């Protein structure tokens, strides 16, 4: 079940169910369309860093698209989609030459990394981009479920806010780091997590079983009170709005 950064960080174990549980083809089509909206026309070589299973990578409309991922299980599935165009590698030490790509894409990556690693990943993106190249990254990923107002969001947001540390992919933070790397803000768009909205009952289960990172830091009484209020909402099994993911672009000076 997809959630707000559900705590399943072993991507080797996750690989076989990843596509099905993260919105599948519909999410990938929407993500690729958002990438296409921000990619300049003259782009030839695109590197998708943390490409996962390649479900988005394979849909990026550019003459040459390569993928890199740290997880063997994810990279193996991506290689099946993009034969000869996927390598294992770490986004904090990208196995590409300086100034060698026209665009770097990072979808749903920075929020997973700590502050040091996410800063390093951005520096690596800047290093491998040619002058005038484009960086695309998602930001504020874990806010996506609360962008659209709903009765569920109204209950969860204030409790969550007390338990969430500053995210690595906060838009302001990413913009500050990028600017210091001579990457200038160039554009922004959103894409939906099609079919990923949860019902009140679904949210209550995710929260009670502590499958969302911030719930690990909350005391049982707080979680019980919140899930009690979620269980009291009407439409217990009606999914609320799909999450809305933010994608931003930067141009290298």
Residues that bind ligand SAM (CB under 6 A): 11, 50-52, 55-56, 69-71, 74, 90-92, 107-109, 112
- For the bound state, the minimum distance from the C-beta of residue 113 to ligand SAM, rounded and expressed in Å, comes to 6
Q: What are phi and psi of 86, to 5 degrees?
A: -125, 135
Give the SS3 label for residue 71.
coil
Smallest gap from Cβ 237 to ligand SAM, in A, equals 27
Q: Least separation, in Å, of the C-beta of 228 and ligand SAM?
A: 31
CB of 3 to ligand SAM, least distance (A): 12
Strand runs labelled E in the chain: 45-49, 64-69, 86-88, 101-106, 129-139, 183-192, 244-252
Q: Which is nearer to ligand SAM, 91 or 170 (CB)?
A: 91
Residue 69: CB minimum distance to ligand SAM, A: 5
Shortest reach from residue 203's CB to ligand SAM, in Å: 20
Say if residues 138 and 171 touch (Cβ distance below 8 Å).
no
Residue 25 or 154: the one with the smaller Cβ distance to ligand SAM is: 25
Give all strands of the β-sheet with 86-88 in edge-to-edge order: 86-88, 64-69, 45-49, 101-106, 129-139, 244-252, 183-192
Nearer to ligand SAM, 104 or 233 (CB): 104
Q: Residues 144, 243: contact at Cβ < 8 Å?
A: yes
Give me the torsion for CA of 164, 38, 186, 101, rounded to 10°: 100
Please give the Cα distance from 175 to 73 (Å, whole number): 31
Nearest residue to ligand SAM by CB is 52
């Amino acid at each position: 079940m997809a959630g707000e950064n559900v705590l399943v960080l072993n991507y080797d174990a996750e690989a076989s169910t990843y596509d099905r549980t993260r919105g599948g083809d519909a999410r990938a089509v929407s993500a690729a369309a958002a990438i296409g909206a921000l990619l300049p026309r003259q782009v030839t070589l695109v590197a998708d860093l943390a490409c996962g299973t390649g479900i988005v990578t394979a849909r990026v409309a550019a003459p040459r698209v390569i993928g890199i991922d740290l997880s063997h299980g994810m990279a193996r599935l991506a290689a099946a989609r993009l034969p000869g165009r996927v390598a294992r590698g770490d986004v904090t030490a990208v196995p590409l030459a300086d100034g060698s790509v026209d665009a770097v894409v990072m979808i749903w990556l920075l929020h997973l990394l700590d502050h040091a690693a996410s800063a390093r990943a951005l520096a690596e993106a800047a290093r491998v981009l040619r002058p005038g190249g484009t960086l695309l990254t998602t930001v504020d990923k874990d806010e996506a479920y609360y962008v659209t107002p709903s009765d569920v969001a109204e209950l969860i947001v204030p409790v969550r806010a007390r338990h969430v540390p500053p995210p690595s992919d906060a838009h302001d933070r990413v913009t500050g780091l990028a600017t210091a790397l001579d990457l200038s803000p160039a554009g922004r768009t959103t894409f939906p997590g099609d079919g990923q909205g949860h019902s009140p009952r679904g949210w209550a289960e995710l929260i009670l079983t502590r499958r969302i990172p911030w719930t690990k830091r909350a005391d049982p009484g707080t979680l019980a009170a919140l899930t009690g209020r979620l269980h009291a909402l009407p439409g217990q099994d009606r999914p609320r709005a799909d999450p809305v993911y933010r994608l931003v672009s930067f141009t290298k000076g």
